[in-house]
Amino acid sequence: IPKGKPILLVPNHQNSFMDALLVTTHFYKTTSFLTRAQAFESKFMDWFLRSLNLLPVYRVRDGMSNIQKNNEIFETCINYLSNNEAVLVFAEANHDLKRRLRPFSKGFTRIAFDAEIKNNWNLDLYVQPVGVNYSDHQNSRNEVRVVFGDPIKVSDYKKEYEQDERSAANSLKNQTSENLKPLIMHVPKLDQYPLIKIALDEMEPDRAKLANNQYMNQLVEYAEELQTPELISDAEYVIEVSEKNNLSIRTLADVKLPMVKRILLAPIYLLVWLNGIIPYQPARFIIKNKIKDKAFDVSIKFVLGLFLFPLFYLLVTGILLIAGVPAIWAWGYFFISLFTSTMFKRANELVRSLKEKKKIREFHQSDSEAFNILKTRIANIANFRKLVINGE
């Protein structure tokens, strides 16, 4: 990462505002970043988000009149960069949970070149590709790897820009994309994505490996070599049937998890789950009933959990004190609850897995023929996974 230079951060965008939060907390400069204008609709949210260094960016769907407002926003970004600050731009323009890098828009190249031009090409601005890798996009307390790649010096494109602005924009855009791809797990071909998702994601017992971009990209290469049309068809069928019947592919595939530890800790997990299920309900309700985009799940859990769990434990502590429970026991409950709340996610997973197994049993009983076809196709993909893991 260039030190003492203005930086235009360009990360991949899979998981709503958690991406920006993770990048900026791992970066040494105070960073402003662009996010969709829809979030700024109320006066309070406009003030609040701007106080956090967020800036609205408008899309075509927001109306052509609003698109013109981007000129002012881009000028603000240029001023930040001219003052040796950092700006974060999601070049993919929107988020997608798929583990791949999507085509870039050229908005960030406009900011980069305009900033250099404003400073007579002496700004020494760098575009910094950043890869954000999640072991699990939709659940909290999972492994995340943030990888900073090779920076790109914008002034290196000066000669090309002066000859052909569009060509220079495409060159910078393409180079940034190529520098970013190795920093994340990237599945190049969409038609192979269902197969690779099941074989390398859903069937992976150690989900921490999914955040290892180098390891996963090696497996993706093997998978591309070994895939067949029949296996792709199997994967599409498995996803279609599992989504239609709300079945967990991981549970269907009998992914082997480290159960000894879970069994030994089961009594503690049960107590943690009972103690945390009430403050978890608002997040669960919003995710289930109000939010259609799954990319926002972990963001909602993070924000609400940060406040609701301590608030609930404090409320219970107050009730215990009012009820005459000795202060040492009441406050002991509070601090033990805070400490063990980090286990709630694992406890909730155990409870959820029991519900998932029940759904699978009911599906088996209601349509044994479809269930057997589903299990056969999953077995085919499991055999494919073994070949990929062994590098055969």
State both tokens at 85: 């600050």
Per DSSP, the residues of 297-327 read HHHHHHHHHHHHHHHHHHHHHHHHHHTT--H
Q: What is the pLDDT of residue 227?
A: 94
Whether 166 and 257 map to the same domain: the answer is no
Mean pLDDT of 112-131: 94
Whether 162 and 236 map to the same domain: the answer is no
If one counts the domains in the chain, the total is 2
Residue 164 has pLDDT above 90, yes or no: yes
Whether 333 and 277 map to the same domain: the answer is yes
Whether 164 and 304 map to the same domain: the answer is no
Whether 242 and 156 map to the same domain: the answer is no
Mean pLDDT of 367-387: 93
Q: What is the pLDDT of residue 261?
A: 61
Q: What is the pLDDT of residue 45?
A: 65
Of 166, 183, 200, which residue sits at a domain end? 183
Whether 55 and 166 map to the same domain: the answer is yes
Residue 125 has pLDDT above 90, yes or no: yes
Q: What is the pLDDT of residue 107?
A: 85
The reported pTM is 0.83
DSSP conformational letter for 3:
S
Whether 242 and 135 map to the same domain: the answer is no
Whether 172 and 237 map to the same domain: the answer is no
Of 183, 218, 253, which residue sits at a domain end? 183
Q: What is the pLDDT of residue 281?
A: 84
Exposed (0-12), middle (13-18) or buried (19+): which is 129, by Cβ within 10 Å? buried
Q: Cα–Cα distance between 344 and 275 in angstroms, integer? A: 9
Q: Which helix (H) or strand (E) holds 144?
A: strand 144-148
Q: What is the pLDDT of residue 148?
A: 94
Mean pLDDT of 55-80: 77
Does some domain include residue 222? no
Q: Which residues pair with 129 in a beta bridge?
A: 10
Whether 177 and 32 map to the same domain: the answer is yes
Residue 260 has pLDDT above 60, yes or no: no
Whether 282 and 354 map to the same domain: the answer is yes
Does some domain include residue 205? no
Confidence of residue 258 (pLDDT cuts 50, 70, 90): low
Nearest to 343, CA basis, from 274, 285, 278, 282: 274
More confident residue, 142 or 121: 121
State both tokens at 41: 């609709």
pLDDT tens for each residue of 261-288: 666 777 888 888 888 888 888 877 877 7
Does some domain include residue 45? yes
Does some domain include residue 192? no
Q: What is the pLDDT of residue 254?
A: 79
Confidence of residue 382 (pLDDT cuts 50, 70, 90): very high
Whether 30 and 161 map to the same domain: the answer is yes
Confidence of residue 257 (pLDDT cuts 50, 70, 90): low
Q: What is the pLDDT of residue 352?
A: 83
Does some domain include residue 224? no
pLDDT tens for each residue of 287-313: 777 767 676 777 777 778 888 899 999
**By percentage, how much of the chain surpasses pLDDT 90?**
52
Q: What is the pLDDT of residue 8?
A: 94
Whether 351 and 253 map to the same domain: the answer is yes
Most confident of 95-99, 255-259, 346-350: 95-99
- Amino acid identity, position 243: E
Coil, strand or helix: which one is 146?
strand
Q: What is the pLDDT of residue 61?
A: 65
Does some domain include residue 262? yes
pLDDT tens for each residue of 202-226: 999 888 999 999 999 999 999 999 9
Structural domain range at position 293: 229-392
Of 148, 183, 218, which residue sits at a domain end? 183
Q: 14-23, 153-162, 230-239 — which is least confidently predicted?
A: 14-23
Mean pLDDT of the residues in the chain: 87
pLDDT tens for each residue of 133-149: 999 887 777 889 999 99
Nearest to 100, CA basis, from 13, 215, 226: 13
Residue 150 has pLDDT above 90, yes or no: yes
Residue 97 has pLDDT above 60, yes or no: yes
Q: What is the CATH number of the domain that holds 40?
A: 3.40.1130.10
Does some domain include residue 17? yes
Q: Do the Cβ atoms of 19 and 132 come closer than 8 Å?
A: yes
Q: What is the pLDDT of residue 207?
A: 86
Q: What is the pLDDT of residue 43?
A: 76
Does some domain include residue 142? yes
